[in-house]
Structures are given as structure tokens and as C-alpha cells.
Structure 1
Amino acid sequence: MDLLLLPQFITAFVAIITFFWAIYQFFANKYNYFINERDKRILNKILLPHFETVEINLFKNITTDNYQMISNNVRVLLKDIRQNNLFFYLPTQLTHYLIALEKLLTTDDNKDNFKSINELYNHFSQQYFKLSWKTRKHLKIEKDHYTYLQNLSLVNKNSKLHYYFSFQTIKRWLSNYLLLYLVGLAVIHQADTDIDTTIASQIWYYFIIIFSPVTYFLNILIQVFLLPKGYNLLKKCKIKLKNTLSALLRK
């Protein structure tokens, strides 16, 4: 790439991004009032009143110990939605799983069918969490999806994989490496060396193409699979050491 064409390329790229961003903002702002009013209603009528009963118990495994508590929470949630006429504002998948779950939990014949109950409860939890996250995001209450999961202690292998393979995370990752690639090109063309800039640009291009996905998937491997195992091993060692010290002190 000719050095003289590089500023023109960057200017054109920024202009294209700005154009599409302006179109997106135009259509987004068109429905902002309705979206904000909807989100405020959902927040005040559903998310806030049921935060300590429903939201912090999402994705939990239902057993005989917590069956009655979760059953009551689901029943009260559905009752409030009906009383406040909120079905129109909620995703159909959420209301479908909620109604099916309430029916399953309140039928005596299904009280020991924990496999079906937990499967349905997991589907409901996913939809409820999506609603909660989108509402908080639209109202600028929360910014980062994964941090929100961590704060609610809902992080598990599936939620981590969902985070790393989500559109927003991949878009942020691609943006960072695109910026790195453009900066690298600028440095190569500005550098006063005997190396052919065309060859150097090609080397830099292939390096980014290979290096970026390798580092990304390596990060997923470490964060999702290796670190939790290491943490659990460290936790077991800590408990074992504590028990050993307690036994020695008793002697």
C-alpha cells in the first residue's frame, strides 16, 4: 500500500462507519421514548420487586429443599404480571416458559420430576436474565454483561462461553485487532528501514490473522476451563490444609 493512500483509506473507512452509525442512531432514536417507558415499567413492576426472590435465584438447581420457595416465587411473579397487564411488554419466550413452569410446579404429580422442572427452569432463567440485562443496559444501569453476571454470582461455564462468543465481545475483539493492524501499517510505512514495505505489510497482515484468533481462543481456554479447575483445586487444598492445622492444634 502506498504511504500517500493510507490517510485516504483511513478517512474513507471512518466516513463509512460514521454513515452507518448515523443511520442506526436515526432508527434507534425513533423508538427511544417507547423503549424507555417500557423498560421503566418492567423495572418498577417486575425487576425491582422480584430481585431478591427471583433474580438472585436464577439458574439454581431445584431440589426438595428449595422447591417450595422457588414455586412460590414463580407463582407470585406470574400473578403480578397478570395484575399489571404486562404480558404485552414481555418477550413471548419468557412468558411461555413462565406459564409452563408455574403449571409444572403447581401440579402434584410433577413434584418429584426434578429433571423436567430444572430443564424448564433453566430456560426460564435464561429468558428472565436476558430481560433484566437488556432493561438495565437501556436505562444505563449496567454496562458490562459479564460483570453483571459476576455480581449476581451467576457465572458458570455456559455463561462464560456465551459471553466470549457473543456478538458484542467478538465485535470488541475485532475492533481492537483492526486498530492494531492499522497502527502497525502506519508504523511500517513511516519506519525508515531497508525492508520492502509491501513485504512487511504482508507479514504484518498474516501475523494478525494468525495471532489474533489463537490468542482469543487461548484466553477462552484459560478463563473457561483451566482457571475454574485451578480455583477448585486451590479451594480443596485450602480446606485440607485448614483441617490438617486444626487437627494438629487439637493434639
Structure 2
Amino acid sequence: MSKLTRALVIGSSGGIGQSLVQQLALSERYSQVFAVSRYLPSAPVDGVHYQIVNSHNEGDIANYCQKVSHTEEQFSLIVCCIGCLSEKRGCGASINPEKRLEDLNQAQLEYYFQINTVLPALWLKHVEPLMRGPFPAKLIFLSARVGSIQDNSLGGWYGYRASKAALNMLLKTAQIELQRRAKNVCIVSYHPGTVDTKLSQPFQANVKPEKLFTAEFTVQQLLSQLPNFNPSQGPYFIDWAGKTIPW
């Protein structure tokens, strides 16, 4: 890969995002590495261009993408790590996967779709022009195996499943359009496995030790697969081992 291309990590403050930034910077495969998140890291990686961006504000997203588009250098890798499975909120409220129909409520469903579907879609809209160019480019979104409609045999987790399935549909639809207007861009929906981060901590009790991955491992797995992604065959829905997941 030419060093005349750049890389961007969206949602770089989480466990996977932080590891991505570190490994991309150390790889020296890119002329510049950019990272955006809700706040700046306490231990920034040397040489990385950090920026606070409020992903809930489309104007902020658009302004940032305009800012980094000022040179002719193409982005050949963009990874969006935005997502939510559970979250503690103020006034005793919390977001947790629903186990049964009685657990469904409007506010929680709207929150899942806002974080897992709408925000990634807005980034997809605004970063796509940054990736057009002569070099093959990969646009990767962290998804989840439970977002597979065909693979759903256990049920439960209504909001999380549905919001990830909706994200996958957006990615499939976007790839069809990009095959007409940005043929160098390949979209990937990536299931990182169960990773030892804040997102999965409440749900790790029943995970076998060999199936609980470090962020460093799942990032290494993702980066090792980059040469396998072909825009003409995209989009891909794959897991950490490179195995195809049914949509």
C-alpha cells in the first residue's frame, strides 16, 4: 500500500478504537493516521491527528470531513467503531439488552438505533468522498454476529440485533451505489468477537476464556484481512477469523 494514503478511526476512545490507532500508527503503512472521538485520549499516540467530534451533530461530522479533505491524499482505510450494547445513564436509568418482549420500550429502541445505525450512517455519508481515488480503499464498520437475520436462533436482544441488522442493510445498499460512483471502495461489516472491553464486560460471565479476545488480537485479525477485500465483491460481513456471516 502506498504511503500516500491516510487512515481514520472513528470512535477512537473505546478499547478497539484505541488499539486500532496504536497499531495503524506503528505499522507506518499510512502517511497520516487520524482519530476522532468524544474526548481526547489521556495517552495520545505520537504522530496521530486527534480531534473531538460530536457524532450526534451531523454538522460537526461534515465540518470535520471537509477539514481533512484539503489535500489530494486519499483515505484508503476508515474504520467506524461507534456502537452501544449497554450503558449506564443518569437518574438510575440504563440501557440493557432486552430478554423478552415485555422489556421493549420506545426510548431504549430509539437509543439503540441512534447509536448503532444512525450515527454510523451519517459518517458513511460524509467520509465516502474522502475515499475516492486511484488506490483501493476499505470502509469498515464494527457490527455483530447477532445482527445476522439468518443466524438468529436464540432470540432476545431485540434492539441491539435490530439496530445492527439495519446497519448491515445500509452497508449493503451503499456498496451497490459505490460500485457505480466509487469503484475503488469496499465496505466491510466486521464482527470482532467478544472483546474484553467496557462494552462486553457485563456479559462476559458465560464466555469461554479462549473466546474472550483482547482488543489487540481482534484488531490484528482485522488488519490481517485487509488485502483480501475486493470492492467488486463487496460488501463483506465477516468475523474475526475471516469467516463469512450470513446477512
- With the shorter chain as reference, the TM-score category is under 0.3
TM-score (norm 1): 0.27
Which has a greater percent of strand?
2
Which has a greater percent of helix?
1
